[in-house]
Chains A and B, each alone.
Chain A
Amino acid sequence: MITNAAPGGRASSAPLVGRDAEPTLFELSVPGRSAYQLRTTGVPARPLSELVPSEHLNPDVIDLAEVSERDLVAHFTRLSHRQFSVDLGMYPLGSCTMKYNPKFCDAVANDPGLASVHPGVPSELSQGWLELLATLEERLCAITGMAAATLQPAAGAAGELTGLLLIRAYHEANGDARKRILIPDSAHGTNPASVTLGGYTVTTIPSNERGLVDLEKLKAELGPDVAGIMLTNPNTVGLFEEDIVEIAQAVHEVGGLLYYDGANLNAILGAVRPGEMGFDVVHMNLHKTFATPHGGGGPGAGPVAVSERLVEFLPGPKSVRQANGSFEWVRPPRSIGRVHGWHGNAMVLARALAYIDVHGGDGLTKVSQHAVLNANWLRKRLEKTLPSAYDRVCMHECVLTATPLKQQYGVRGLDVAKALLEEGFHSPTVYFPLIVEEALMFEPTETESVQTLEALAQAIERIAQRAVDDAEALLHAPQTTPVSRVDEARAARNLIATEDAAQR
């Protein structure tokens, strides 16, 4: 048992200077100030009125902001100090894999030899990029056990919809697009939303008392109109779908395909691959498993890998290695077409390749082992305070429940999550998956030390003790953060989405 939580990575030491609101860029603006400097070009100056027909010119000057460079730097630096991040402290947001993002990968991608290349140049002028993309595709296929991949989708949800369009193209090529996609009730919300956009209807499959897909109920829903099933494995309660081989057989028997939501891929690297499980389509969230930074909500990248039977339908153009060792853009013969304006979030792809190559096969295997070890250690460490929704070995994340605290003291999962902010930790994911009451989903990731996990556990124990001593105070947490709980109802009732709406 590790009891030393002293060096444990809490962010509660972060200095915050004062509690005032930061003015907006527009409030800082003073007419006549400016920060910009442009290149001296020597191009003959001509007035806009000579270049653009007057009926096309906006009679008004659009007011942006007028600030000095010094004020600009101070403003965005102060904003950055009002923001929690992985670099600041532990971010156990379940399902989001907020692991440490190696600075090396950023540095590699930001090299002007990659970042300054225009996406529309002929392939002979961007061979380095084409080789990078083709290599990443090979690596991702090796990791997932699939035959080929597209790197175009810009995020996981875009990958899901791409995958569903591939499934549709496959069935249409066989003369029947089919109608339904099966989804477990524990699925991410993006799954059903993507199904609708893919032109299918959702059939929800209930989970059983073990937190897994109910195999019998699944089989009862199968039929010739089922285009496929979308599964996350391990699923969103952090458990491996142990019946996966049987599920795959049953779905394939009725001619359906299997879609793997790779949101939880961080659990299984080097242990098991979607290909062996029987999946036909796999999307990966490179910003999760392969440690590319989340950017405050993007950019991500959601490549989609497929089994042999779907290769010819992949989006194009894609970079393909030629016999002579060079690379060319190639459109698969029955391609569904583009799913992105260019080649996907290329800089994110470059970071992911750097991450994969630093780790190698053994390193990635170790990543998942440590992620699973951390999640299980935390689950067991907290079992007396926040019991597991399903009391058994989990994968890379654990779903705990605040139901006992709610029943005894009226303290909900949300209150625990908010109080954790005061303790210097980001909250876990709350109220997801929907099938678990008062769910608190913790994903510690492999990059947090056991001392940090212990510090988190002790923080949660302190919160539980506060529930006993003064539950009312917990309902008002957090108080030490830049703002306290915000009035979400007011924001929705009276939408103020811009400074101009605020001024009205």
Chain B
Amino acid sequence: MANYLPHTDEEVAAMLEFLGMDSMEQLFDHIPAAIRLSQGLDLPQGMSEPDVAAVFATLTAKNKAKASQMTCFAGAGAYDHEVPPVVKALGSRSEFVTAYTPYQPEVAQGVLQAIFEYQTLVSRLSGLPIPNASLYDAATGLVEAVNMAAGATGKSKILLSQGVHPHWRETVRTFAKGTGYDIVEVPLVDGVTQWASVDSTDAAAVVGAYPNYLGVIEDMAPAKALAESTGALFVLGIDPIAASVLKTAGQWGADVMIGEGQAFGTSLNFGGPYLGLFACTEAQIRRLPGRIVGETVDSSGRRAFVTTLRAREQDIRREKATSNICSNQTLMAVTAAIQLGWLGTHGLREVALRCAQSAHHLHDELMKVEGVTALSSQQFFREFAFRVPGSARDLLRFMADHGVLGGLSLAELNAATPSAPECGSEDLILVTCTERRTKEEIDTYVDLVRKAVTQ
């Protein structure tokens, strides 16, 4: 039974007496009797912490995909990167964990400065000058980017590459039901977006992904040219690890960069909390969603940080706000700053290089297996899709039985999104390698595929 309430029975009695009451019930007397709960809540009895821990242990035992039982080759925006003890220790300091939004800057310089450092890192990696303090995840970040584009152009057609992660596309479509946007998905051929195939008149946004969710490093010039020719904003979804070595969103001429920041120090976490990376050009400052921290001085002239441009936000602008976001993912942003501080300039590049090396090694070895082919002939970075003879699901199940999480079935990933026809096919697997995968693990992977295919 929980034991977090400080009051003794005597104190409760004294406090009630101070209020002129003789029971707790009296505090609730003004609630109409007809709707009061007479029987209490229909929940199990409270348990002690160790007893609840025992229940949770039965749950964790049922998660066969945990790291202690399975080597992770699954990606699709959620990656098994190294998060060292130093990052975990700093990121779990209770001053960061148990604070809230820095409404009182005099006692919140710690979080504010950490966000400022995070914003600097996001700005440098995106090549764009105006970052924000984080959004929920990449999917909801894309929704905000699309809202920004619609606000900037006064138009409502969104040209969305099918190289954008299927879940992000689905999320955009969900929220478009409120804002009434016309979402036009632009198909892939051989993993490359067919921008020339769409009618771009009246487009508010052109949305591409770099690399795209199939890992392909697409040329972004056609997307930029399309956006420019129609006056749309160019929104680019990036892989933040690849972003350390590839051309930046800014270099491609993007107006908005979004990305999934989980790769920066956050565990797989079964999908959340993650970190929505967001940055844009100066032209879009007034439409920036969410919070932004700015530098200033205190009354004695000392450097200080504060949330700024607050007049855009929901608590002031209400129905005219640029976004409804209030809580964001600050702790993940602070953690990202810590992780990037740990990796440093060269460490992040090294991680990117190793991911690419391992993924290419896996790719080259897999292609030697009879019957296995790549979905796309294009250059990829750290992730790729391949076709197997038979069912991808069966193969993944076979590998799981041998302790390997072999990737994700593309058909499953695309279950709710219209997609390039081949991506819905049941024989495709999307696979990735992080810097944590060894040659031995990769060899085991290939052996398992070979075994399954030749059986």
Does B associate with A? Answer: yes
Closest partner residue, chain B, to A285 (CB atom): B327
For window 186-232 of chain A, which residues contact chain B by CB distance below 8 Å?
188-190, 192-199, 201-202
B421 located at the interface, meaning its Cβ lies under 8 Å from any Cβ of chain A in the complex: no
Question: Given known contacts A125-B65, A483-B105, A486-B296, is B137 in contact with A271 (CB within 8 Å)?
Answer: no
Query: With A and B bound together, what is the CA distance between A188 and B120 in angstroms?
Result: 31
List chain B residues, Cβ under 8 A from A502: 295
Contact of B357 among A39, A43, A359 (CB under 8 A): A43
List chain B residues, Cβ under 8 A from A347: 269-270, 272-273
Closest partner residue, chain A, to B138 (CB atom): A341
Check if B99 sits within 8 Å of A296, measured CB to CB.
yes
Expressed in whole angstroms, the minimum distance between the Cβ of A45 and any Cβ of chain B is 7
A1 located at the interface, meaning its Cβ lies under 8 Å from any Cβ of chain B in the complex: yes
A15 located at the interface, meaning its Cβ lies under 8 Å from any Cβ of chain B in the complex: no
Question: Given known contacts A161-B175, A341-B139, is B46 in contact with A143 (CB within 8 Å)?
Answer: no
Closest partner residue, chain A, to B328 (CB atom): A298
List chain A residues, Cβ under 8 A from B337: 25
Stretch at the interface among B194-202, B227-235, B285-293, B446-454: B285-293
Q: A43-B361, A83-B109, A128-B60 are in contact. List 5 more A-B contacts (CB 8 A).
A: A35-B344, A154-B272, A189-B315, A271-B28, A296-B331
Check if A158 sits within 8 Å of B140, measured CB to CB.
yes
B297 located at the interface, meaning its Cβ lies under 8 Å from any Cβ of chain A in the complex: yes
A184 located at the interface, meaning its Cβ lies under 8 Å from any Cβ of chain B in the complex: no
Check if B270 sits within 8 Å of A154, measured CB to CB.
no
Contact of B117 among A24, A449, A483 (CB under 8 A): A24
Query: With A and B bound together, what is the CA distance between A44 and B362 in angstroms?
Result: 11
A35-50 Cβ-contact flags toward B at 8 Å (1 or 0): 1111111111110100
List chain B residues, Cβ under 8 A from A498: 116, 119-120, 123-124, 129, 131
List chain B residues, Cβ under 8 A from A34: 344, 346-347
Expressed in whole angstroms, the minimum distance between the Cβ of A273 and any Cβ of chain B is 6
Check if A377 sits within 8 Å of B117, measured CB to CB.
no
A292-308 Cβ-contact flags toward B at 8 Å (1 or 0): 01111111100000000
Check if B96 sits within 8 Å of A338, measured CB to CB.
no
List chain A residues, Cβ under 8 A from B80: 116, 118
Query: With A and B bound together, what is the CA distance between A491 and B293 in angstroms?
Result: 9
Contact of A131 among B59, B361, B396 (CB under 8 A): B59
Check if B174 sits within 8 Å of A294, measured CB to CB.
no
A81 located at the interface, meaning its Cβ lies under 8 Å from any Cβ of chain B in the complex: yes
Check if A358 sits within 8 Å of B48, measured CB to CB.
yes
Expressed in whole angstroms, the minimum distance between the Cβ of B291 and any Cβ of chain A is 7
Query: With A and B bound together, what is the CA distance between A121 and B344 in angstroms?
Result: 31
Check if B7 sits within 8 Å of A197, measured CB to CB.
no
Stretch at the interface among A52-60, A401-409, A461-469: A52-60
- Provide a sorted-by-A list of 18 A–B residue pairs whose CB atoms are within 8 angstroms: A52-B246, A79-B109, A108-B56, A113-B61, A154-B273, A157-B327, A193-B319, A272-B28, A272-B35, A276-B35, A340-B271, A341-B167, A357-B55, A358-B52, A364-B41, A484-B302, A487-B298, A495-B309
List chain B residues, Cβ under 8 A from A380: 18-19
Contact of B306 among A101, A115, A491 (CB under 8 A): A491
Query: With A and B bound together, what is the CA distance between A120 and B415 in angstroms?
Result: 12
Query: With A and B bound together, what is the CA distance between A113 and B102 in angstroms?
Result: 33
For window 350-378 of chain B, which residues contact chain A by CB distance below 8 Å?
350-351, 353-354, 356-358, 360-361
List chain B residues, Cβ under 8 A from A242: 30-32
B283 located at the interface, meaning its Cβ lies under 8 Å from any Cβ of chain A in the complex: no
Check if B15 sits within 8 Å of A114, measured CB to CB.
no
For window 107-134 of chain A, which residues contact chain B by CB distance below 8 Å?
107-108, 111-122, 124-129, 131-132
Expressed in whole angstroms, the minimum distance between the Cβ of A235 and any Cβ of chain B is 13
Expressed in whole angstroms, the minimum distance between the Cβ of A302 and any Cβ of chain B is 8
List chain B residues, Cβ under 8 A from A194: 324
B455 located at the interface, meaning its Cβ lies under 8 Å from any Cβ of chain A in the complex: no
List chain A residues, Cβ under 8 A from B302: 19, 21, 483-484
A270 located at the interface, meaning its Cβ lies under 8 Å from any Cβ of chain B in the complex: yes
Question: Given known contacts A114-B63, A271-B31, is B2 in contact with A492 (CB within 8 Å)?
Answer: no
Closest partner residue, chain A, to B400 (CB atom): A125
Question: Given known contacts A298-B134, A341-B167, A360-B43, is B269 in contact with A129 (CB within 8 Å)?
Answer: no
Check if B99 sits within 8 Å of A76, measured CB to CB.
no
Check if A377 sits within 8 Å of B131, measured CB to CB.
no
For window 232-250 of chain A, which residues contact chain B by CB distance below 8 Å?
240, 242, 244-245
Query: With A and B bound together, what is the CA distance between A351 and B117 in angstroms?
Result: 29
A22 located at the interface, meaning its Cβ lies under 8 Å from any Cβ of chain B in the complex: yes
Query: With A and B bound together, what is the CA distance between A418 and B108 in angstroms?
Result: 13
Q: Which of A143, A193, A285 has the most CB of B within 10 A?
A: A193
Check if B131 sits within 8 Å of A295, measured CB to CB.
no
Query: With A and B bound together, what is the CA distance between A1 and B11 in angstroms?
Result: 10
Question: Given known contacts A52-B356, A341-B77, is B99 in contact with A72 (CB within 8 Å)?
Answer: no
List chain B residues, Cβ under 8 A from A160: 324
B101 located at the interface, meaning its Cβ lies under 8 Å from any Cβ of chain A in the complex: yes
Query: With A and B bound together, what is the CA distance between A341 and B267 in angstroms?
Result: 15
Expressed in whole angstroms, the minimum distance between the Cβ of A220 and any Cβ of chain B is 20
For window 401-445 of chain B, which residues contact chain A by CB distance below 8 Å?
405, 408-409, 412-413, 416, 435-440, 442
List chain B residues, Cβ under 8 A from A26: 117, 120
List chain A residues, Cβ under 8 A from B189: none
Pair count A-B, CB < 8 A: 718
Query: With A and B bound together, what is the CA distance between A117 and B272 in angstroms?
Result: 11
Contact of A340 among B74, B272, B313, B437 (CB under 8 A): B272
A427 located at the interface, meaning its Cβ lies under 8 Å from any Cβ of chain B in the complex: yes
Count residues of chain B with CB under 8 A from any CB of chain A.
Answer: 212
B134-150 Cβ-contact flags toward A at 8 Å (1 or 0): 10111110000001000
Interface size class of A (residues with CB under 8 A): 35 or more
List chain B residues, Cβ under 8 A from A492: 294, 308-311
Check if B41 sits within 8 Å of A365, measured CB to CB.
yes
Contact of B108 among A84, A350, A370 (CB under 8 A): A84
B390-401 Cβ-contact flags toward A at 8 Å (1 or 0): 000100110010
Closest partner residue, chain A, to B124 (CB atom): A62
Closest partner residue, chain B, to A501 (CB atom): B129
B207 located at the interface, meaning its Cβ lies under 8 Å from any Cβ of chain A in the complex: no
Check if A497 sits within 8 Å of B119, measured CB to CB.
yes
Closest partner residue, chain B, to A44 (CB atom): B361
B67-102 Cβ-contact flags toward A at 8 Å (1 or 0): 110101010111010101010011011111111111
Check if B65 sits within 8 Å of A117, measured CB to CB.
yes
Closest partner residue, chain A, to B308 (CB atom): A491
A459 located at the interface, meaning its Cβ lies under 8 Å from any Cβ of chain B in the complex: no
Contact of B5 among A120, A202, A240, A370 (CB under 8 A): A370
Check if A80 sits within 8 Å of B344, measured CB to CB.
no
Closest partner residue, chain B, to A429 (CB atom): B103
For window 12-31 of chain B, which residues contact chain A by CB distance below 8 Å?
12, 14-16, 18-19, 24, 27-31
Check if A190 sits within 8 Å of B314, measured CB to CB.
yes
Contact of B348 among A64, A154, A355 (CB under 8 A): A64
Check if A342 sits within 8 Å of B78, measured CB to CB.
yes
Question: Given known contacts A273-B37, A357-B46, A490-B297, is B357 in contact with A193 (CB within 8 Å)?
Answer: no
Check if B245 sits within 8 Å of A52, measured CB to CB.
yes
Closest partner residue, chain A, to B55 (CB atom): A357
Q: Which of A45, A116, A377, A381 has the most CB of B within 10 A?
A: A116
List chain B residues, Cβ under 8 A from A300: 327
List chain A residues, Cβ under 8 A from B332: 295, 298-299
A336 located at the interface, meaning its Cβ lies under 8 Å from any Cβ of chain B in the complex: yes
A312 located at the interface, meaning its Cβ lies under 8 Å from any Cβ of chain B in the complex: no
B190 located at the interface, meaning its Cβ lies under 8 Å from any Cβ of chain A in the complex: no
A334 located at the interface, meaning its Cβ lies under 8 Å from any Cβ of chain B in the complex: no
Question: Given known contacts A296-B111, A338-B170, A343-B270, is B408 in contact with A120 (CB within 8 Å)?
Answer: yes
Check if A421 sits within 8 Å of B320, measured CB to CB.
no
For window 322-340 of chain B, which residues contact chain A by CB distance below 8 Å?
323-332, 334, 337-338, 340
Question: Given known contacts A43-B439, A338-B171, A340-B136, is B11 in contact with A36 (CB within 8 Å)?
Answer: no
Check if A298 sits within 8 Å of B315, measured CB to CB.
no
List chain A residues, Cβ under 8 A from B72: 118
Check if B318 sits within 8 Å of A298, measured CB to CB.
no
List chain B residues, Cβ under 8 A from A377: 15, 18-19
